[in-house]
């Protein structure tokens, strides 16, 4: 239920939905009020379609990247969140998107000895999708390419950030792993993801 609600809210918080709703609402108001509503709709559209404004807002929200030299030696487990690939419906192979860089950054930490364990957390993040869960696709890809090892774990039940945190915490507890982690996700997603994971005991 929470997953469905989160997807509905994602749609409702879209600026373009606000514009559409304002334009529709304008049809039911008198002419003088309709003009004000149309100006509001145009203002929202102009604001959120302006690249300079959008990038400025994004920079205020994003977390600053952390240099490798600043990583704590006590944080030896990496959690990388999904949203990096989808399944090619024609051949079943993974289709990597621009966020897939986050996996290779986490993989680098593992292979250079900065981290001991890597968890890929991600399932199906859409309401109507029958493709293979993301973490399972990563596992199959790494196995076929000879890169899968015993210290790479996968969790494929999560559909959103809240479930990433919940299911990752359960797996960490089962494996008796320290919840002092290095979290790898996009800089835009980091503030919210960090808050949610901390609520499940991660540090």
Cα–Cα dist 104/156, whole Å:
18
The per-residue pLDDT for range 167-199, each reduced to its tens digit, is 999 999 999 999 999 999 988 889 999 999 999
Q: Which of 57-61, 89-93, 150-154, 167-171 has the lowest mean pLDDT?
A: 57-61
pTM (two decimals): 0.77
* 3-class DSSP state of 45: helix
CB 122 within 8 A of CB 164: yes
Query: Which segments within the chain are labelled E, that is strand?
Result: 77-81, 85-87, 94-96, 117-121, 152-155, 181-184
pLDDT at residue 161 in the model: 92
The per-residue pLDDT for range 122-158, each reduced to its tens digit, is 998 665 667 899 999 999 999 999 999 999 999 999 9
Torsion, Cα of 36, 41, 43, 47 (10° steps): 160
The band of 72, judged by pLDDT with boundaries at 50, 70 and 90, is confident
Angle at 125 between CA 120 and CA 127, to 5 degrees: 155
């Amino acid at each position: 239920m929470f997953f469905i609600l989160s997807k509905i809210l994602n749609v409702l918080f879209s600026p373009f939905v606000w514009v559409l709703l304002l334009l529709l609402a304008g049809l039911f108001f008198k002419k003088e009020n309709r003009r004000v509503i149309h100006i509001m709709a145009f203002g929202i559209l102009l604001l959120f379609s302006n690249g300079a404004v959008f990038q400025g807002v994004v920079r205020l929200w994003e977390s600053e990247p952390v240099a490798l030299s600043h990583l704590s030696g006590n944080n030896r487990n990496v959690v990388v969140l999904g949203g990096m690939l989808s399944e090619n419906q024609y051949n079943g192979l993974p289709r990597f998107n621009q966020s897939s860089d986050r996996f290779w950054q986490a993989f680098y930490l593992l292979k250079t000895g900065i981290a001991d364990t890597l968890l890929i957390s991600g399932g199906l993040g859409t309401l109507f999708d029958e493709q293979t869960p993301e973490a399972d696709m990563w596992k199959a890809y790494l196995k076929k390419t000879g890169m899968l090892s015993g210290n790479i774990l996968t969790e494929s039940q999560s559909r959103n950030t809240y479930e990433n945190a919940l299911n990752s915490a359960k797996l960490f507890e089962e494996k008796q792993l320290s919840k002092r982690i290095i979290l790898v996700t996009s800089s835009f997603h980091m503030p919210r993801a960090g808050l949610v994971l901390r609520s499940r005991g991660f540090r």
